């Protein structure tokens, strides 16, 4: 089984990134989605609203409308009746509904990591046979992706096609020495675990929790945005799947109206595909952040920056073994303690002291 990076990839609670979605108001100024969510965004956090609250609210409201329309009674649902019920709700009733949906979202939020792992293929033993079949299917897809990487001619177009196929292969699947996961999401995240930082001999599972706090600016926003998008799509996929089952139960005696349950089922499938694409983008963002900020990690660890790529790979292998297996670092490994940035040198003080410059 590939290692599950998600259990260790969030060492600290990061500030929720603003989703990439935006609109412009009448004056043409961009308006972020978090600002459209109202004051609750500052109380609950935009990550909670995006990942947990909005999927719970939308799917919960869908089931409530069916219930207000008369389900699960036999016959066609009366949506006029549902509209009349909504129009007659008082402030207290609306507050109770909002509180109930909020509590469901809050209770379910800590299970987000477990939810993603289930979508990766971390299934109970009772589903072992289904898991074996799913793994075989993913293995055949990996083999097909490998066949597309073969170049049939030395032409530039054929080489470009093979290169694009290789990029897709290394984004969607882990190396051949690792078994395939039973799901596309599991393979995409396993590919990130295997390839992100690998050219520097950095094991992303143990290196990323130490490097992530040093990432800032656009790189941090990119990582957080794609991670939140993956989590939100994963949550919506599961919530919509459960909603489809509940809707089918409510509409079981409603004739052709049972087809309404296909709407959340289609949304679940679409959300899962979105989660896979977001996971691929998340892996690319993590890999880019490692390429850009890895030297800041040496500075933070009070280690000299390697002078050559070979020396860097040797040092990274040493550090990853230390972090992964708790092997002590060599006793003769030198530290480089540079002065803190907040402690100015005499030269910088003379340039910035207003009394001396007056």
What confidence tens digit (pLDDT) does each residue in 158-167 have?
A: 888 888 889 8
Give the model's pLDDT for residue 159: 81
Give the model's pLDDT for residue 339: 62
With H, G, I as helix, E, B as strand and everything else as coil, classify residue 31.
strand
Give the model's pLDDT for residue 73: 83
Using the 8-state DSSP alphabet, how is residue 252 labeled?
T
Nearest to 221 by CA among 6, 15, 4, 13: 15
pLDDT in tens, 323-340: 999 999 999 999 998 765
Please report the sign of the dihedral spanned by the C-alpha atoms of residue 50, residue 55, residue 61, residue 64: negative
Is residue 34 scored above 80 in pLDDT? no
Question: Residue 36 belongs to what H/E stretch?
Answer: helix 33-36
Residue 211 or residue 75, greater confidence: 211
Rounded to a whole number of angstroms, the CA Rg of the chain reads 26
Beta bridge partners of 23: 31
Query: Rounded to an integer, what distance in angstroms lies between the CA atom of residue 331 and that of residue 333?
Result: 6
Give the model's pLDDT for residue 121: 93
Query: Rounded to an integer, what distance in angstroms lies between the CA atom of residue 53 and that of residue 7?
Result: 22
Name the pTM for this structure.
Answer: 0.79
Nearest to 238 by CA among 128, 138, 66, 117: 117
Is residue 109 scored above 60 in pLDDT? yes
Instruction: Report the pLDDT averaged over residues 23-41.
Output: 42
Phi, then psi, of 31 in degrees rounded to 5:
-120, 120
Using the 8-state DSSP alphabet, how is residue 53 labeled?
I
Question: Residue 236 belongs to what H/E stretch?
Answer: helix 217-250
Question: Residue 134 belongs to what H/E stretch?
Answer: helix 128-148
Give the model's pLDDT for residue 162: 83
Instruction: Output the CA–CA distances (angstroms, integers) from residue 5 to 173, 190, 204, 210, 328, in the order listed.
Output: 15, 8, 8, 14, 24
Give the model's pLDDT for residue 23: 35
Cis bond before residue 177 (omega within 30° of 0): no
Give the model's pLDDT for residue 44: 61
Give the model's pLDDT for residue 120: 94
Mean pLDDT of the chain: 84
Give the model's pLDDT for residue 68: 93
- CA 33 and chain centroid, separation: 18
Q: How many CA atoms lie within 13 A of 328 on its CB side?
A: 3
DSSP code string of 48-79: HIIIIIHHHHHHHHHHHHHHHTTTTSSS---H
Is residue 206 scored above 60 in pLDDT? yes
Give the model's pLDDT for residue 165: 87
pLDDT in tens, 146-161: 888 887 677 888 888 8
For residues 306 and 298, is the Cβ–Cβ distance under 8 A? yes
Using the 8-state DSSP alphabet, how is residue 12 labeled?
S
* Share of residues in the chain with pLDDT > 90 (%): 69
Task: Mean pLDDT check: name the lowest of 39-48, 94-103, 114-123.
Answer: 39-48
Residues whose CB falls within 8 Å of the CB of residue 300, separated by 6 or more in sequence, listed in order:
214
pLDDT in tens, 220-253: 999 999 999 999 999 999 999 999 999 999 999 8
């Amino acid at each position: 089984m590939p290692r599950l990076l998600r259990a260790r990839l969030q060492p600290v609670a990061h500030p929720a990134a603003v989703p990439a979605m935006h609109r412009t108001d009448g004056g043409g100024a961009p308006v972020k989605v978090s600002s459209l969510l109202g004051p609750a965004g500052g109380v609950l956090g935009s990550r909670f609203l995006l990942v947990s609250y909005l999927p719970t609210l939308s799917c919960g409201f869908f089931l409530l409308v069916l219930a207000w329309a008369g389900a699960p009674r036999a016959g066609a649902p009366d949506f006029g009746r549902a509209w009349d019920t909504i129009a007659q709700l008082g402030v207290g009733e609306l507050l109770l509904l909002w509180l109930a949906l909020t509590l469901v979202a809050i209770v379910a939020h800590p299970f987000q990591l477990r939810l993603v792992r289930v979508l990766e293929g971390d299934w109970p033993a009772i589903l072992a046979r289904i898991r074996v079949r799913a793994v075989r299917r993913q293995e055949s897809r990996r083999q097909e992706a490998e066949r597309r990487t073969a170049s049939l001619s030395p032409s530039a177009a054929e080489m470009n096609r093979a290169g694009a196929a290789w990029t897709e292969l290394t984004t969607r699947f882990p190396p051949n020495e690792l078994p395939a996961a039973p799901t596309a999401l599991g393979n995409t995240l396993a590919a990130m675990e295997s390839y992100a930082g690998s050219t520097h001999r950095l094991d992303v599972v143990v290196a990323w929790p130490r490097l992530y706090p040093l990432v800032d600016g656009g790189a941090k926003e990119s990582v957080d945005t794609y991670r939140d998008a993956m989590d939100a799509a994963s949550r919506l996929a599961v919530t919509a799947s459960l909603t489809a089952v509940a809707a089918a139960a409510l509409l079981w005696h409603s004739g052709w109206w049972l087809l309404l349950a296909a709407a959340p089922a289609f949304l679940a499938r679409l959300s899962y595909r979105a989660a896979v694409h977001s996971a691929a983008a998340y892996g690319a963002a993590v890999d880019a952040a490692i390429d850009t900020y890895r030297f800041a990690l040496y500075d933070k660890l009070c280690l000299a920056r390697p002078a050559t790529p070979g020396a860097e790979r040797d040092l990274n292998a040493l550090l990853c073994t230390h972090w992964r297996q708790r092997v002590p670092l060599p006793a003769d490994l030198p530290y480089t303690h540079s002065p803190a940035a907040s402690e100015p040198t005499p030269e910088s003080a003379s340039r910035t002291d207003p009394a001396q410059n007056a």
